[in-house]
Chain A
Amino acid sequence: MTMPVIEVRKLSTRFGHTWVLHDLDLVVGRGEVVALVGGSGSGKTTLLRQINGLIKPTEGSVRLFGEPLYSRDVHRDRALRRRFGMLFQHGALFSAFDVFDNVAFPMRELRLLPAELIRDLVMIKLAQVELKPEHARRMPAELSGGMVKRVALARALALEPELLLLDEPTAGLDPDRSAAFVRLILALREQLGLTVLLVTHDVDTLVALATRVAVLADQRILAFGTLDEVIQVDHPFFRNFFCGEAMQRALAGSRALR
């Protein structure tokens, strides 16, 4: 079973007259945690939105779990989309539903599970993301930023995905909360055997989570490897991003741990 979980081939995207991504290849194997980094406007989010099927690439193909993302068969497409979970940057919780209904929503959409089973499953999901049962009836507007992320993560995990896509998972959280959220994702990955692709700006998150780093610049993946390998590459972006003070500190911290 060496089938890559994500396989992006010769992907090009054009918005109007500008090429955002050009001839991009990215292969992510099972169990990896790949961090996608790059400057603002380098197309990280665009790439993520093409992998989760929100934008159709201008050219090239995306395959998940060995299957094409667009198969012209509605049922196959839907089944494929249920195999990954997506955590949006701002949570994207349904504001008209409470926490319980937000997490239950994807399960109810299957239309196959009985209500009691859904109830128990939602409570397990909430426990997995370290939320208490009494939070279940809160509305998204009544939650703190960190709790919104947790509920969104519980919702992303609702259908037992094999792949988790995270868009800026720790943006907007204070360092303490952000470290706790990273620990939570690591623990879940350990338990559930998840493959994770994340977009991040935060060096601490990057160092703590990623097994490999993909650097997006000049409309393609400029470097793809472990953090130590990627740091060696000579490119203006790397000098700015990886040799900054925060990065050095985070790296020193992680080396000390090892």
Chain B
Amino acid sequence: MAKEPSLRIERGVRGQPVARVSGDWILARLAPCLAELTPTLDNCRARRDLDWDLSGLGALDTVGGLLLWQGWEERFPPELVVSPRQRAVLERVAASHAAGRAQAVPPPPRPDWIASAGGFGLEVWAHLTNLVVLLGQLVLDAGHCLRHPGEIPLREISANVYKAGVRAMPVTALVGFLIGIVLSYLSALQLRNVGADIYIVNILGYGIVRELGPVLVAVLVAGRSGSAMTAQLGVMRVTEEIDALATFGVSRTLRLVLPKVVALSLAMPLLVLWTTAMALWGGMVAAQVQLDIGYEFFIATLPRAVPVANLWIGLAKGVVFGFLIALIASHFGLHVRPNTESLSANTTRSVVISITSVLLVDAVFAVATRGIGVPV
């Protein structure tokens, strides 16, 4: 049966030192006792006068062969007792080791921070230009669809509205309702102190309808549908499905990107409306419990306190955010390279960048609409 590998230096018949190798020099046996063997092997390396006796050697594989070969400083010792079969193993190791040594492995490239900063800048620039190219292609596709209404990808659009809109309704409702309760509860605590209970309607109305509703939905949809779109397109890239589409003369932007962008631009304002309603309901519940403001009063006061322009602003934000999220998600999905690392990196980027740009655009909206729908 298999034996522990061992290496001992003994006195031979003529009194000369002999290194005796015995046991099975195979990976499974060697790995556990490598720490004990290495010092002896290193010790042998320094000595040229050793005879080597491999007659006690059981099995020998590449690992064992390599260890011995390195112990011999990559040349056969002058006095060597070894079976022809094992000599063949050693010669094979020697040959492939020499071949590998002749052209050493290039080390993995070292990160150089100037180069990586430059690379990062170029990458950002490439992403920006590609995003513009994608946008331009979408405009061309939209024009094409207007001229050939038969080619409008209606089924894809409806499927995307269902996936990104209808299926998102439960989660957005739950989150909206809870946020409404929390916001209303915290505001009520403050308002009661100054006796301005009635202003709960204004605070909730402005906060939720104009700001929180659209942003909340955008964050949820970016995490939920944006990542799904990126991953879907990315896997289609990896499996060459997108190339297959192209060979049928089907435009990838027309069939894959346009439906997503159109569907999310349609579904987002509806989701914003739905979530806003849920958040206001949550706020109403908390206001009733905390401040004893009835539902009828709340509903009757709301249109007077918050001009309807705010709702249009909120819905417009929904359209723009939906468009942005779908565009960014599709862009990163189309730039997945065929490996798992790239897929995960692009999905992450897609979510992070769409949320960031949603918040940036929201700030632009705040500035651009500062005179609309607010008491001056």
Q: A121 to chain B: closest CB distance in Å? A: 6
User: Which residues of A, 115-170, contact B by the 8 Å Cβ criterion?
Assistant: 117, 119-121, 123-128, 132-134, 136-137, 139-141, 159-160
Question: Are the C-beta atoms of A123 and B337 separated by less than 8 Å?
Answer: no
Does A112 interact with chain B (Cβ within 8 Å)?
A: yes
**Segment at the A interface, from B28-36, B45-53, B160-168, B261-269:** B28-36
* Residues in chain A near residue B93, CB distance under 8 A: 124
Residue of A nearest to B95 (CB): A127
> How long is the Cα–Cα vector from A100 to B106 in the complex, in angstroms?
10
Interface residues of B in 56-77 (CB under 8 A from A): 61-63, 66-67, 70
Set of chain A residues within 8 Å of B43, measured between Cβ atoms: none
CA distance A140 to B96 in the complex (A): 23
CB distance from B123 to the nearest CB of A (A): 18
Would you call B105 and A79 a contact (CB within 8 A)? no
Residues facing A in B82-127 (CB within 8 A) are: 88-89, 92-93, 95-97, 99-106, 108
Residue on B nearest A100 in the bound complex, by CB: B105
User: Which A residues touch B34, using CB under 8 A?
Assistant: 112-114
Which residue of chain B lies nearest to A114 when distances are taken between CB atoms in the complex?
B34
Q: Mark B179-223, 1 if CB is under 8 A from A, else 0.
A: 000000000000000000000000000000000000000000000
Residue of A nearest to B62 (CB): A124
Q: Tell me whether A71 is interfacial, beta carbon within 8 Å.
A: no
The answer to whether A133 touches B104, judged by C-beta atoms less than 8 angstroms apart, is yes
Contacts of A79 in B (CB 8 A): 28
Alpha-carbon distance between A139 and B340 when the two chains are bound, in angstroms: 12
Contacting pair A121 B63 (CB below 8 A): yes
CB-based contact B28/A83 at 8 Å:
yes
Known A83-B28, A120-B66, A123-B105: A95·B338 in contact at CB below 8 Å = yes
Q: Is A40 an interface residue (CB 8 A)?
A: no
Q: Contacts A79-B28, A117-B66, A141-B339: A124 and B106 contacting too (C-beta < 8 A)?
A: no
Cα separation A227 to B346 with both chains bound (whole Å): 51
Given contacts A124-B93, A133-B100, A160-B63, contact A112 B32 (CB under 8 A): yes
A256 touches B (CB below 8 Å): no
Known: A79-B28, A96-B340. A128 touches B96 (CB 8 A): yes
Q: How large is the interface on A (under 10, 10 to 19, 20 to 34, 35 or more residues)?
A: 20 to 34
Q: How far is the CA of A128 from the CA of B65 in the complex (A)?
A: 14
Q: Could you tell me the distance in whole angstroms from the C-beta of B78 to the nearest C-beta in chain A?
A: 24
Taking CB atoms, residues of chain A closer than 8 Å to B250 are none
Interface residues on B, range: 20 to 34
Contact, CB under 8 Å: A123 / B106 = no
**In whole angstroms, how far apart are the Cα atoms of A137 and B108 in the complex?**
7
Smallest CB gap from A132: residue in B: B103
Max chain A C-beta neighbours (<10 A), residue from B62, B88, B93, B102? B62
Closest Cβ of chain B: how far from A161's Cβ, in Å? Answer: 9
Provide the bound-state CA to CA distance between A30 and B87, in Å: 22
B27 contacts chain A at the CB level, 8 A cutoff: yes
Query: Chain B residues near A94 (CB, 8 Å)?
Result: 340
Interface flags for A97-123 (1: CB within 8 Å of B; 0: not) read 010100000000010111001011101
* Distance between A248 CB and nearest chain B CB, rounded to angstroms: 36
Q: Is the CB of B28 within 8 A of A124?
A: no
Nearest B-chain residue to A128, judged by Cβ: B96
Which listed residue, A83, A113, A136, A191, touches B105 by the CB 8 Å rule? A136
Partner of A121, one of B66, B92, B102, B108: B66
Q: Does B26 contact A (CB under 8 A)?
A: yes
B341 at interface, CB cutoff 8 A: yes
Q: Tell me whether B340 and A124 are in contact (CB under 8 A).
A: no
Q: Contact mask A61-99 → B, CB, 8 Å, 1/0?
A: 000000000000000000100110000000000111010
Contact A141 B338, beta carbon cutoff 8 Å: yes
**Interface residue A233 (Cβ < 8 Å from any Cβ of B):** no
Complex Cα spacing A100 to B27, Å: 19
Q: Are A110 and B96 in touch, CB under 8 angstroms?
A: no
Q: For A192, what are the chain B residues with a Cβ–Cβ distance below 8 Å?
A: 61
Please, which residues of chain A bring their CB within 8 A of the CB of B341?
A: 95-96
A82 CA to B341 CA, complexed, in Å? 27
CB distance from B253 to the nearest CB of A (A): 24
A110 contacts which chain B residues (CB < 8 A)?
27, 31
B 332-352 binary contact with A (CB < 8 Å = 1; else 0)? 000001111100000000000
| A160–B27 touching, CB < 8 Å | yes
Q: Are B337 and A141 in contact (CB under 8 A)?
A: yes
Instruction: Give Cα A117–Cα B68 distance, bound, in whole angstroms.
Output: 12
Q: Which residues of B contact A160 (CB under 8 A)?
A: 26-28, 61-63
Question: Residue on B with the closest CB to A101?
Answer: B108
Nearest Cβ distance between residue B212 and chain A, in whole angstroms?
Answer: 39
Known: A113-B31, A160-B62. A126 touches B337 (CB 8 A): no
Contacting pair A191 B92 (CB below 8 A): yes
Interface string of A159-197 (1 = CB under 8 A from B): 110000000000000000000000000000001100000
* B32:A126 contact, CB within 8 angstroms: no
Inter-chain contact B97/A124, CB cutoff 8 Å? yes
Nearest Cβ on chain B to A192's Cβ, whole angstroms = 7
Given pairs A83-B28, A96-B339, A120-B100, 20 additional interface contacts (CB within 8 A): A94-B340, A95-B341, A98-B108, A112-B34, A120-B97, A121-B63, A121-B66, A124-B62, A124-B93, A125-B62, A126-B100, A127-B100, A128-B62, A128-B96, A132-B103, A133-B103, A133-B104, A137-B106, A160-B61, A191-B88
Interface residues of A (CB under 8 A from B): 79, 82-83, 94-96, 98, 100, 110, 112-114, 117, 119-121, 123-128, 132-134, 136-137, 139-141, 159-160, 191-192
A-B contact pairs, 6 of them (CB 8 A): A95-B338, A125-B62, A127-B99, A140-B339, A159-B28, A191-B88
